[in-house]
Amino acid sequence: MTGWFAWLRTAFYAGLLLSGLAAAGLLIFFFVSVQDLPRVPDPLGRIIETPPTEIYAATGERLMIIGGREAVPLNRVSPFFIQAVIATEDHRFWGHHGIDHLRILKALWINLFRSGRVEGASTITQQLAKNLFFSFQRTYQRKFRELGVALQIEARYSKNEILEAYINQIAFGVGAHGIEQASRVFFGKPALQLSLPEAALLAGLPKSPTRYNPFRHLERAWERQKVVLARMAAVGYISAAEAEKAHQARLSLRPPSDAQPSGDYFTDVVLRDLEERYGSDAVHHAGLKVFTTLDPQLQALAMESVQNGLAKLDQILKVPAAVGGDPGAHPQGALVAVEANSGAVRALVGGRDYAETEFNRALQNNRQPGSGFKPFLYYAALEKGGLNPAAVFVDRKVAIPVPGQPAWSPRNFSGEYEGPMILKRALVHSVNSIAAQLVDRIGPKAVIDAARRCGIKSPLAPVPSVALGTSGVSPLELAAAYASLATGGVQHEPFWIRRVEDSAGRILEERILSGRRTLDASITFQLVDMMRGVLDEGTGAVARQLGFQLPAAGKTGTTDEFNDAWFTGFTPNLSVCVWVGFDRATSMRDPQGRGVTGGRGAAPIWAEFMRRATEGAPRRDFAVPADIRFLQVNPTNGQPALPWGPRSMEVALRGGQMEAIAPAFNGREPSPTGGGQ
Amino acid sequence: MKESTDTRALRPWAAGALGGTGIILVALLAALVASELKLNWVERLVGAYLVATNAERPESGAIWEKGRKAQTARMAIDKLASDREASQRMARNAGTLNEIVAALAPGQGAMLSAEHFRELYQKIPSGIAAEMISPFDLLRFTSEKRWTRAYLEKSSEGLTIYLLEANNQVLRQFRVAAATLALMARRGAAASQSLEDLASFQNRIYTAERFFAALSALTEEERRGLIAQPERLLEVSGQITRVGLSDEALAGFVDVGVEVQAGSQRRVILIQGQDWAVWRLRSLLEGKPSAPRGGRRSQEAYSAQ
C-alpha cells in the first residue's frame, strides 16, 4: 500500500512538472510562432477599401461592379441583420475576448464523443481573421495563427469595429461581398431597410453561399432562414411567435436577371477583353470605369427573342421539360446585333441561360454556317467571275472534280432541280447546285478572299465546299461580316468597349470608329439587292410574315442533318445574326422527321427581335450607287420581262451590264431617296 | 480492519501531497484557470503582446497579397493614364506636327481639337500638306461643323491621322509616311553654320546673286514649287549670302539650303522644294539637267524633262 502511495505521489509531482514544462514549451512555441504572424492593418476598415471596376452600357446604365466593397457603417445596417448574424455565428460575441471557452468545450465534447458530428467553435473575430489573412486549409498551425490574429484584433479594436469589418467582407454568393451589396443584389434595397425575414435569409447564406443561393435553391435558403430565426429566438432577440411569423412571410427576391452581379454573356466578353489588355489584377483591383457599346433595351429584347424562339423550338422538337439542368439536352441559341456603320456590338446573347451555362455560343461556338456563307460566294462571282444577277445558270445535278478526292456533288435542300434560272433567284432560293457551279468557276480562294474582306477571321479550308459554309464561323463574325454588306462595302471591326477610364476619370483609351472600304460599292449593292429577295420571297420570307416590314436583306443557313440553323440579316443600320442548335452535334427534327431549317428555327427569332428593336424607327433604304440601274427580268432566262410573260424579278445592274442584257432598255434609275425597290 | 490500516497509511501521504506545497500548487492552478475563465487575461496578454509587436511582423496573408496586387495594378494603370495625359498635354502645346510626332512612341496617339489641327496644317509646306489632305476637304469638313477633333497615331510606318466627329466616327483618315515626316522635320531647321558642312550640298552651292537671277527666270508656278512660302524667308533676320541644292530627293522633295549672314553669325536654313522645280532651277544654273541620286519619283520627273 505504501508503494502505491509513493507511486501516486511521484505521479502527482511528475504531472505538475510535466504541466510546467508543457506551459514553458507552449510559451516558447508561442513566441516563435507569432514572429511571422501577419501584420494587422490599421485602421481595420482599410482592408476593405478597393475601388470597384464598373462596367456601363452605352446608355450610361451601370451593368456590373467587379471587386471593391460597398462598406457601410453599422448604423446603416438593419438591426435585424446584426442580431441574426450574432445569434447564428457567435451569440456570446459581446462577452468574449476572441475565444468562446464554453463553445470550445462543447465542440470538443461533440467532436470527441458524438461520432459523425463535427462542431466548429470559431467566433466572429476568428472568422474575420481567417477570411482576411488565411487560406481555408484545415491545419492546427493555421488554426493557431488564426487564433493569434483574432486575439490581436480583439485587443486593438472595439466590438463594433470588428463586427462592422466582418459584415462588410463576408461572401453571400453570386458575386456579392458585404451586406450592402448582398442586400441590393438579393432584395434591391439598402441594408438598412432589410426586414426580419430578409435579414434572417441573408444571415444564413455565408455558411454555404452556393448551397443556399436563393436564386437557384429557394427551398434550401428558406429552410436555412428557419434555422437562423430559431437561433434568434433561442438567444432572445425575438419571440418564437415572431420567428414563426417571419418564416411564413413572403420574400420579395429581386429577379436574378435584374441582379446579375455574377455577369452575363456580354460582360463576360468585356471582362475577357479587359483582362487581355490591362491584366486581371487591374480589372479586379484598379477601379476602372468601362463604357461599352451595349444597348440594354436591345439586349433585353435579344434575350427575350432567343428565349421565346427556343421555347417554341422545344415544342417543335418535343424536348421533354424534365431535362433541365443539362444544358446540352435543350437546343441552344445565340444572337449578336452589330451596328452596321461602326461595328459596335449593341446586343449579345450567348445561350439560353447564363446561369445554366457560361459557354458563349455567340463567340466561342464556331459552327458551320451552311448557306449563310453564300453571300461571299456570290460577291466573288459578281466581282471575279464577271457575272451579274441576271446571269443564267442551270439548276441540275452537278459533280465538281476535287483533286485527289471523289467528285463533290452537293444536292439541293429540296432534292429537286428546277432547270435554268438567274443568279438572283438561285440565291433567293438557296440553290446549292448553282452555288457549286459558281465556286467551280471562280475557285474557293476567291470565296475565301471575299469572306476575309468582310472580316471573317476563322480558318477557312480552301475547298469547293467552303462556298456552302463547311468551315465553322461564329455568330459574331457573321453578323459583323454582313454589316460590311449593309454599309455598301465598308468593313468595321466589331467591338464592345468604347472608352476606358481609371478610377479618377482619366481616359486610358477610347475607340476611334474607323472603317475601311474592302468591297466595291456597286457590286455590294447588287448582292444586297439579291439578299433582299431572300426576305421578300425566299427562304427567309417568314420574317415578313411575322411582321417585320422595314427594308432589309439576309440569308438563311442550314447544315447537313439539320445540326445548325442560322439566319443573318441586316437593315442599313443594324446587322443581326441568329444561330440555333444543340451543343453536341445533334439533328434538329420534329417527331414527323421534318428538319429545322434556318427559316424555321432562326429566322423567327431574328424577325421578333428586329420587329421590336426597330419599332417606331423611320424607314430607311439601302443607298444605291449612281451607276446602278434596275431591270425587271424573266427569272428563268434573264431577258427583260414581257408584260404577258411569267412573274418577273427585279435585278440591279451596274455600268455596262444593262447594255449587255438589254440594249434597248435604260432600266429604272434609283429614286432620289435612294430607294431600290 | 485492513481498510482502516489503508486509510491510516493514506493520511501522511495526503498530508504531504495536498498540504503544503501541493495544496498551494493546486490552488494556484485552480485560481489561474478560474480567473482566466472570468477575466480572459491570457487572451488579453497575448493580444496586447501582439498589438505591441504588430509593426515588426510581415505584411503577409490574403488581404495584404490582395492589397499589393491592387497597388501594383493601380500603379500600372496610373502610369498608362499619366503617359496618355502627358502626350495629350504635349499635343495641346505643340507648335508643329513634328513636335507631336517626336513626342509620341510608336503605337501611341494624341487627340487634338479641329482648330489646333488646322493651325498645324497651315505650317506644313503646302505641297506636302496637299498630299496629305486637300485643304478644300478640310474647308468642307469645317463648314459642315461635323469635324470636331483629330486623332494622330504614330506607327513605325509614319503617322495616321483621323479626322473625327463628336462621337469618334471617322470622317477621313490618311497616312503620312515616315519619309514625309522626316522631310517636314528638316524644314526651317538651322541645320548648320555653313553649306560646306552639309555633304549633300557640296556639289551645288551658288551665290545668292546667281541663285536669285536664275529664280527670277522661272515662272511663278515654278518659283512657288521651289519656295512654297517665301514670306517665311523674309521673316529671317540677316542677309542671304549663298544657296545650296541637295543632290538627294525624298518623297518628291529636294532640300534647299539657304545660308544667312547676320552680323558675325552665319547659319543655314533648310527648306524643301518640289523636285521638278528644283531641277528646273538647276538646269538654268548649270545649263544642263543632272540626275538626282535617290527617289523613284525624282527619276521619273527627271526623265520627263
Q: Is residue B155 part of a domain?
A: yes
Nearest CA in chain B to A3: B9
Query: Is B298 found in the same domain as B222?
Result: yes
DSSP helix, strand, coil percent of chain A (3-state; round to 5) = 45, 15, 40
Residues of A in contact with B151 (CB under 8 A): 512
Distance from CA of A247 to the nearest CA of B (A): 36
Nearest CA in chain A to B152: A512
Q: Is residue B247 part of a domain?
A: yes
Inter-chain residue contact B173 with A152, CB threshold 8 Å = no
Nearest CA in chain A to B169: A513
Nearest CA in chain A to B2: A1
pLDDT score at A423: 96
Distance from CA of A100 to the nearest CA of B (A): 10
Catalytic choice (A183, A371, A465, A575): A371
Residues of B in contact with A99 (CB under 8 A): 40, 43
Q: How many CB atoms lie within 10 A of CB A108?
A: 12
pLDDT score at A370: 95
What is the band of A105 on the pLDDT scale with cuts at 50, 70, 90? confident
Tell me if chain B has a CB within 8 Å of the CB of A106: no
Q: Show the 3-state SS of chain B.
A: CHHHHHHHHHHHHHHHHCCCHHHHHHHHHHHHHHHHHHHCHHHHHHHHHHHHCHHHCCCCCHHHHHHHHHHHHHHHHHHHHHHHHHHHHHHHHCCCHHHHHHHCCCCCEEEEEHHHHHHHHHCCCHHHHHHHCCHHHHHHHHHHCCCCEEEEEEECCEEEEEEECCCCEEEEEEEEEHHHHHHHHHCCCEEECCHHHCHHHCCCEEEHHHHHHHHHCCCHHHHHHHCCCHHHHHCCCCEEEEEEEEEEEECCEEEEEEEEEECCEEEEEEEEEEHHHHHHHHHHHHCCCCCCCCCHHHHHHHHHC
Least confident of A572-581, A646-655, B35-44: B35-44
pLDDT score at B267: 83
pLDDT in tens, A474-488: 999 999 999 999 999
Nearest CA in chain B to A510: B168
Asked if residue A219 lies in contact with residue A204, where contact means CB atoms within 8 angstroms, the answer is: no
Helices and strands (DSSP H and E) totals, chain B = 14, 9
On the question of pLDDT at B54 being above 70, the answer is: yes
On the question of pLDDT at B303 being above 50, the answer is: no
Query: Is B192 found in the same domain as B296?
Result: yes
Q: Is residue B292 part of a domain?
A: yes
- Yes or no: domain A373-471 corresponds to CATH 3.40.710.10: yes
Does A89 participate in catalysis according to the annotation? Answer: yes
Mean pLDDT of chain B: 81
Domain at A71-255, CATH from 3.30.9.10, 3.40.50.1820, 1.10.3810.10, 3.40.50.740: 1.10.3810.10
pLDDT score at A320: 75
pLDDT in tens, A494-524: 999 999 999 999 999 999 998 999 999 999 9
On the question of pLDDT at A104 being above 60, the answer is: yes
Tell me if chain B has a CB within 8 Å of the CB of A508: yes
Inter-chain residue contact B84 with A506, CB threshold 8 Å = yes
* Domain end point (choices B143, B164, B181): B181
Catalytic choice (A70, A89, A154, A164): A89
Asked if residue A49 lies in contact with residue A71, where contact means CB atoms within 8 angstroms, the answer is: yes
On the question of pLDDT at A668 being above 90, the answer is: no
On the question of pLDDT at B289 being above 70, the answer is: no
**Chain region(s) in chain A for CATH 3.40.710.10:** 53-68+263-369+474-518+529-621, 373-471
What is the band of A10 on the pLDDT scale with cuts at 50, 70, 90? confident
Asked if residue A653 lies in contact with residue A629, where contact means CB atoms within 8 angstroms, the answer is: yes
Tell me if chain B has a CB within 8 Å of the CB of A342: yes
pLDDT score at B230: 82
**Section A583-607 average pLDDT:** 92
Query: Is B163 found in the same domain as B193?
Result: no
Which of B227 and A435 is assigned the larger pLDDT? A435
Give the three-class secondary structure for A134. coil
Nearest CA in chain A to B57: A39
What is the band of A430 on the pLDDT scale with cuts at 50, 70, 90? very high
Asked if residue A472 lies in contact with residue A504, where contact means CB atoms within 8 angstroms, the answer is: no
pLDDT score at A675: 35
A451, with CB counted inside 10 A (0-12, 13-18, 19+), is buried
Nearest CA in chain B to A505: B81
Which of A104, A136, A514 to mutate against chain B (most B CBs within 10 Å)?
Answer: A514
On the question of pLDDT at A663 being above 90, the answer is: no
**Section B51-59 average pLDDT:** 91
Which of B3 and B213 is assigned the larger pLDDT? B213
Inter-chain residue contact B55 with A39, CB threshold 8 Å = yes
What is the band of A673 on the pLDDT scale with cuts at 50, 70, 90? very low
Give strand pairing partners of B249. B254
**Section A582-595 average pLDDT:** 89
Domain at A53-68+263-369+474-518+529-621, CATH from 3.30.1230.10, 3.20.20.70, 3.40.630.30, 3.40.710.10: 3.40.710.10
pLDDT in tens, A250-270: 988 887 655 544 568 999 999
Query: Is B78 found in the same domain as B128?
Result: yes
**pLDDT > 90: percent of chain A:** 67
* Domain end point (choices B155, B181, B207): B181
Distance from C-alpha of A157 to C-alpha of A42, rounded to nearest angstrom: 10
Distance from CA of A514 to the nearest CA of B (A): 5
Residues 393-422 of A with CB under 8 A from B: none
Residues 107-166 of A with CB under 8 A from B: 131-135, 148-149, 151-156
Distance from C-alpha of A1 to C-alpha of A7, rounded to nearest angstrom: 10
* DSSP annotation of B27: H
**pLDDT > 90: percent of chain B:** 18
Query: Is B168 found in the same domain as B78?
Result: yes
* DSSP annotation of A601: I
Q: Is residue B157 part of a domain?
A: yes
Asked if residue A365 lies in contact with residue A474, where contact means CB atoms within 8 angstroms, the answer is: yes
Tell me if chain B has a CB within 8 Å of the CB of A515: yes
Inter-chain residue contact B81 with A506, CB threshold 8 Å = yes
Distance from CA of A156 to the nearest CA of B (A): 7
On the question of pLDDT at A119 being above 80, the answer is: no
Distance from CA of A299 to the nearest CA of B (A): 22
**Section B252-259 average pLDDT:** 85
Contacts of A475 (CB under 8 A, 6+ apart): A334, A335, A336, A361, A362, A363, A365, A566, A568, A577, A578, A579
pLDDT score at A672: 40
On the question of pLDDT at A669 being above 60, the answer is: no
Q: Between A124-133 and A140-156, two packed helices, what is the crossing angle to 10 degrees? A: 110
Distance from CA of A512 to the nearest CA of B (A): 5
Give how many domains chain B has, as a whole number: 2
Least confident of A33-37, A91-95, B218-222: A33-37
On the question of pLDDT at B94 being above 80, the answer is: yes
pLDDT score at A599: 93
pLDDT score at A52: 84
Pairs across A and B, CB distance < 8 A: 159
Query: Is B225 found in the same domain as B144?
Result: no
pLDDT score at B67: 83
Inter-chain residue contact B173 with A511, CB threshold 8 Å = no
pLDDT score at A57: 95
Q: Is residue B227 part of a domain?
A: yes
Query: Which of A5, A37, A510 lies at the smallest CB-CB distance from B168?
Result: A510
pLDDT score at B231: 78
pLDDT in tens, B102-150: 888 888 889 999 999 999 998 887 777 888 898 889 999 988 888 999 9
Which of A23 and A303 is assigned the larger pLDDT? A303
Give the cell for residue A676. 431600290
pLDDT in tens, A46-55: 655 678 899 9
pLDDT score at A224: 96
Query: Which of A16, A34, A284 lies at the smallest CB-CB distance from B50?
Result: A34
Q: Is residue B264 part of a domain?
A: yes
Q: Between A2-33 and A140-156, two packed helices, what is the crossing angle to 10 degrees? A: 70
Q: Is residue B102 part of a domain?
A: yes
Distance from CA of B132 to the nearest CA of A (A): 18
On the question of pLDDT at B223 being above 80, the answer is: yes
Which of B269 and A152 is assigned the larger pLDDT? A152
What is the band of B293 on the pLDDT scale with cuts at 50, 70, 90? very low
**Section A216-244 average pLDDT:** 95
Owning domain of residue B252 = 188-304
Query: Is B104 found in the same domain as B208?
Result: no
Which of A28, A34, A133, A151 to mutate against chain B (most B CBs within 10 Å)?
Answer: A151
**Section B154-173 average pLDDT:** 91
Q: Is residue B175 part of a domain?
A: yes
**Section B200-207 average pLDDT:** 85
Give me the half-sphere count of Cα atoms (radius 13 Å) on the Cβ side of residue B288: 2
pLDDT in tens, A613-641: 999 999 999 999 999 999 999 999 999 88
Which of B25, B33, B63, B72 to mutate against chain A (most A CBs within 10 Å)?
Answer: B63
Mean pLDDT of chain A: 89
pTM beyond 0.90: the answer is no
* Domain end point (choices B116, B149, B181): B181
Distance from C-alpha of A258 to C-alpha of A355, rounded to nearest angstrom: 13
Asked if residue B100 lies in contact with residue B156, where contact means CB atoms within 8 angstroms, the answer is: no
Does A339 participate in catalysis according to the annotation? Answer: no
Distance from C-alpha of B239 to C-alpha of B216, rounded to nearest angstrom: 18
Query: Which of B13, B49, B63 lies at the smallest CB-CB distance from A133?
Result: B63
Residues of A in contact with B40 (CB under 8 A): 96-99
Query: Which of B54, B81, B173 lies at the smallest CB-CB distance from A40?
Result: B54
pLDDT score at A322: 47
Q: Compute the radius of gyration of chain B from its Cα atoms.
A: 43
Inter-chain residue contact B62 with A135, CB threshold 8 Å = yes
Asked if residue A524 lies in contact with residue A532, where contact means CB atoms within 8 angstroms, the answer is: no
pLDDT in tens, A263-293: 689 999 999 999 999 998 899 888 999 999 9
pLDDT score at B116: 94
pLDDT score at B18: 53
